[in-house]
Amino acid sequence: MGGHANAGYHPLTTETVVQVVAPLNHFADVNQLEIKEIGDGNLNYVFHVVEPATGKSLIVKQALPYAKVVGESWPLTLDRARIESEALRRAAEYVPALVPKVHHTDERLACTVMEDLSDHVILRKGLIQGQVYPKLAEHIATFLAQTLFHTSDFFLSPLDKKEQVRAFINPELCKITEDLVFTDPFFNHETNDFPEALQSSVEALWNDLELKRETAKLKHAFLTRAEALVHGDLHTGSIFVTADSTKVIDPEFAYYGPIAFDIGQFFANLALNYLSHFHHSPDPQQRRTFQEYLLEVIEETWARFKEQFSQLWQTKGQDVYMQVAGVEDDFFERLLEDTIGFAGCEVIRRTIGLAHVADLDSISDEETQLRLKDKALTLGSVLIKQRRQLTRITHLSETIRGVAHA
């Protein structure tokens, strides 16, 4: 598996990328393009292609046959370009306004030509700066409800569902999540990354048998539950925003997995941002307001998600059991429990695992950073272990508030 390039694959350059966009007839004159590589170079090339005369632009994203993380390099399947492109197209069937438009896919070159979103900022960055996005909850709720419902057994015919499962089998990217989200942070593993001063808290976590038993169940769910086509990496770095626009990007981790996983990752990254504002918002009043805004985003996202999903359930449900009294309630009850559990895993792995978040890591004051990371570990553990008792979305926001201010 992995790493083997397709026949005819070659890494694009700022010179050769024009060959990809020329046939699309998007630009007036492909000899007058300004092309810059703007990716971080770890997994993909991202070319920003602009035609100054017309103001037109495009993004060309190409998968590289390897991944580079902290100096290490390992082979990684180019098939993820196909997965990402197909997942964006699937999402566009239901929420075209909430994903970048895909203009073209070249499987040989493992690249996708898509809408340029340079006028947007990465949500994580905006939230660190204390920006409020009034449409965020509504948009993410819509994205989640529409994409998850329409790719699940609740909507698809049994035969279509299985064909979709087959098309989105994504073993290598799933393995990254299995390892980095669900396993390594809970054991003394070399990929972990945390300040030495956090050692005793981390060891307490590694020695918490109840936590590990519960995390084992969540990992097993991630491994086995083919419920819907999930985005698979829905943190605040995979969301582009403006004041009134939201775009979900980068679904290269998409696969058939638990519906709760996407929701949980989103909530976890809001919770991490919440903690980080003890530093980023020095003014207590301003801080309180912004932190409460973040909890409102969580509560509103859940409420609107539930509302929309429920409406789809009632109007477009294909399974006769969906009309049986109580079945829908049972579904949402278990969904919230799973969501909170997955959120707990994400909070922990972003704190001590391989891939951190700028929210906490950008905190210059070492002691504050440490204190907040310690709180993050507590929060993650509580969410995983007490998820069955947190039966309302307000229990989640109360838990975040409570742990943060303890």
Which residues of this chain interact with its own copies, rule CB under 8 A?
A: 1, 153, 158-159, 161-163, 165-166, 169-172, 174-175, 178, 183, 187, 209, 212-213, 215-217, 219-220, 223-227, 319-321, 324-327, 330
DSSP states of 115-181: ---TTSEEHHHHHHTT---TTHHHHHHHHHHHHHHHTSTTTS-HHHHHHHHHHT--HHHHHHHHHHT
214 is in an annotated binding site: no
In the complex, least distance from residue 57 CB atom to its own copies, rounded to whole angstroms: 37
52 is in an annotated binding site: no
Query: What is the spatial distance between Cα 135 and Cα 105, in angstroms, rounded to a whole number?
Result: 30
6 is in an annotated binding site: no
In the complex, least distance from residue 324 CB atom to its own copies, rounded to whole angstroms: 5
| Of residues 237 and 344, the one with the C-beta less far from its own copies | 344
| Of residues 97 and 223, the one with the C-beta less far from its own copies | 223
Q: Name residue 63's beta-bridge partners.
A: 44
- Interacting residues of 308 by C-beta distance below 8 A, sequence separation 6+: 141, 142, 145, 146, 149
CA distances, 21 to each of 17, 111, 118, 281 (Å): 7, 11, 18, 44
In three state form, how does the secondary structure of 174-210 look?
Answer: HHHHHHHCCCHHHCCCCCCCCCHHHHHHHHHHHCCHH
| Of residues 116 and 178, the one with the C-beta less far from its own copies | 178
Query: 290 by DSSP, 3-state: which?
Result: helix
In the complex, least distance from residue 47 CB atom to its own copies, rounded to whole angstroms: 30
44 is in an annotated binding site: yes
116 is in an annotated binding site: yes
Do 374 and 201 touch, CB atoms closer than 8 A? yes
| Of residues 329 and 365, the one with the C-beta less far from its own copies | 329
Sign of dihedral through CA atoms 54, 55, 56, 62?
Answer: positive
Local structure of residue 100 (DSSP, 8 states):
P
316 is in an annotated binding site: no
Residue bearing tokens 């989103």: 266
| Of residues 307 and 329, the one with the C-beta less far from its own copies | 329
| Of residues 119 and 321, the one with the C-beta less far from its own copies | 321
In the complex, least distance from residue 73 CB atom to its own copies, rounded to whole angstroms: 19
In the complex, least distance from residue 7 CB atom to its own copies, rounded to whole angstroms: 21
250 is in an annotated binding site: yes
In the complex, least distance from residue 217 CB atom to its own copies, rounded to whole angstroms: 7
Q: Pick out the residues of the known binding site for ATP.
A: 44, 61, 115-117, 250-252
Q: Pick out the residues of the known binding site for substrate.
A: 233, 349
